[in-house]
Structure 1
Amino acid sequence: MKHFADFKSYNDYLGLKKPLDADIDVGYYDPPNMLLKSEAITVDFYRISIKINVVNNATPDRRPITAVFFNSPNLILPIGWDVEPTYTGMYVQLSKKIIEENRYLFKTYLDYGQHEALYLQEDEVQEISAVFRLMVKYYESEKQNYNVLLSYVNVLISLVEAFYKRQFSTDPKAYNRIVTDFQQSLIDYYSKPVSHLPNVQYFADKLGLTANYLGDIIKHFTEKSALENIHDFVIKKAKDLLIENKKLNTTEVAYELGFEYPNYFSKFFKKQVNLTPREYRLQANGKN
């Protein structure tokens, strides 16, 4: 397995142009002069790769595809790639430093490489290509237009967001299973004694997904974030315990739900329900 710590070594390996900057690299693919077959690799930076009509010899279905692919630090491409020299495309490479310093510009798609590519329609290719031409223009002018270049990278990421929403909606059955598994995992979590509150990362690990990817799918199909779904479920459990287990006091209910501090449970419940747990119990008992 080969590991690449910087753009220059990776570009040399692939046969791409020398990067002009250590934190951001923008360019076009030139397949006839590039490495077309590779062993497994990892990179210590982020890549957004747009490939148009690429044929992958390593897959049984050799139909050309047009898609956006993502690479991120620690993501292993176990079989590398084996492609025909007939595709076109472009790429953006971003250092970990630039991501951290400009986190507000970047959304969650940079770790999607672990799950799925973004398959583009023809009009989407045209939009991305237009933005990319502007990125190249400002990249080649180097530091004097650095902020403009970053703004266009943000536009590219925003287009990716819109196109992913379209992809999620195109084949909902493929994603409904993830939503169902997430909801079942919530039920399973509270089917036994718990010692702490669950979080999004816990369920992402259970489902073999990244937290960002899980969160985006849950938000798309439920119109609430994964964390909001968890909070809704916890509140429902809290209400059930307060009504059905009258022997449990508020502190005991808090511990049953995994709250470490009962006072935090009371504040959390009041924020969600506009009543304290005690007020809710009294009101519910009064109605009954």
Structure 2
Amino acid sequence: MKSVLDIKNIRDYNSLVGHETLHPLISVIDFSETKSYKQPREQTLRFGFYAVFFKNQEHCDIRYGRNYYDYQEGTLIFIGPDQVVSIEEDGADYQPTGYALLFHPDLIRGTSLGQHMKDYSFFSYDVHEALHLSEQEKEVVMECFRKIDYELKHGIDKHSKKLIVSNIELFLNYCTRFYDRQFITRDHANPGVLEKFEGMLNEYFSSEKPQEKGIPTVAYFASQLHLSANYFGDLVKKETGKAALEYIQSKLIDVAKEKIFYPFI
């Protein structure tokens, strides 16, 4: 079993890539300004903080579990605390490019962002569910990064935390909008998900599975469709206006009504 490199705090990651630590709980990194290095062919990392990577090259492969991130030029990858990812390189020296926004949970503790951080479900999306940006969206992301970086380089004062956290929240709200757009424009990535879901629901309730396994969960159907539960739930919500669990329960009620009125069917 390969060892996992635990990166518990922002300072540790900055040290790893040769970036100056301006604040112990947050960092904005331009990788073109970091040191070049020869990375092992495969390295497994676990982060103790939130990490957003803005990839603008196709040099390395990032893997989570058994799958690879679906990324290309101009992609945002979201990693939550304690997630484990593997990075595969060709073993050659190179200068990384792209950007990263890293922030520790302690930074947002006690703030409005901290209270509803769980609403940004894309930090728990699976590897093939990264956010692909248009040129205009890239500019919005970069502007958010620049504002946070400005606050870090401006020097810490009584306004710093509020402005930094507000800009993180603004950035995450934009990402929510961009994901809504992606659900529409990247249908080819998950063709016919709703149709498959509906077919699986019908098959499940017309079989003996309800008696054997009970009421199916959102996670069950997400797994069958090779999607994370959060991504699947958000996709169903976007397309139908109903939460995935609500959709399942609605189907269950319909089946129950059929059994009541037509018990021999």
Q: TM-score, normalized by length of structure 1? A: 0.71
SS in 2 for 1:176: coil
Equivalent residue, structure 1, for 2:27:
25
Change (3 A) 1:79 1:136: closer
SS of match in other structure, 2:84: coil
Using the TM superposition, give the Cα deviation of residue 162 of structure 1 relative to its aligned residue in structure 2, in angstroms.
1.6
- Bigger helix share: 1
2:115 aligned partner, one-letter code: R
Are positions 1:12 and 2:15 aligned together? yes
Give the structure 2 partner of residue 162 of structure 1.
177
Per-residue displacement from partner, 1:29-49 (whole Å, max 9, x unpaired)?
235514463422222222011
The secondary structure found in structure 2 opposite 1:30 is helix
SS of alignment partner, residue 246 of structure 2: helix
Q: Which residue of 2 aligns with 1:187?
A: 202
Amino acid in structure 2 at the alignment position of 1:13: L
Q: What is aligned with 2:84?
A: 76
TM-score normalized by structure 2?
Answer: 0.77
1:90 alignment counterpart: 99
User: 1:146: Cα distance to partner?
Assistant: 0.9
Percent of counterpart pairs with the same letter? 24
Please state whether the residue corresponding to 1:233 is helix, strand or coil.
Answer: helix
The 2-side partners of 1:46 and 1:100 are apart by: 13
Structure with the higher fraction of residues in strand conformation:
2
Aligned counterpart in structure 2 of residue 225 of structure 1, from 224, 234, 243: 243
- Within a 5 Å distance, the mapping from 1:246-261 to structure 2 comes to none
Give the aligned partner of residue 3 of structure 1: 6
Letter in 2 for 1:103: Q
Larger Rg: 1
Alignment pair present for 1:111 and 2:124: yes
> Which AA in structure 2 matches 1:104?
H
Q: Does the 8 Å CA contact 2:36/2:96 hold for their aligned counterparts?
A: no
SS in 2 for 1:68: strand
Q: Which structure is higher in RCO with an 8 Å CA cutoff and minimum separation 6?
A: 2
| Higher alpha-carbon deviation: 1-10 or 191-200 | 191-200
Structure 1, unaligned runs of 5 or more:
247-288
Shift of 1:129: 1.4
Count of paired positions: 240
* Counterpart residue number, 2:254: 236
Find 2:191's aligned residue among 172, 176, 180.
176
The more displaced of 160-169 and 176-185 is 176-185
1:254 counterpart residue number: none
Query: Structure 2 unaligned runs (5+)?
Result: 63-70
RMSD over aligned Cα atoms? 2.9
Partners of 2:11 and 2:24 within 8 A in 1: no
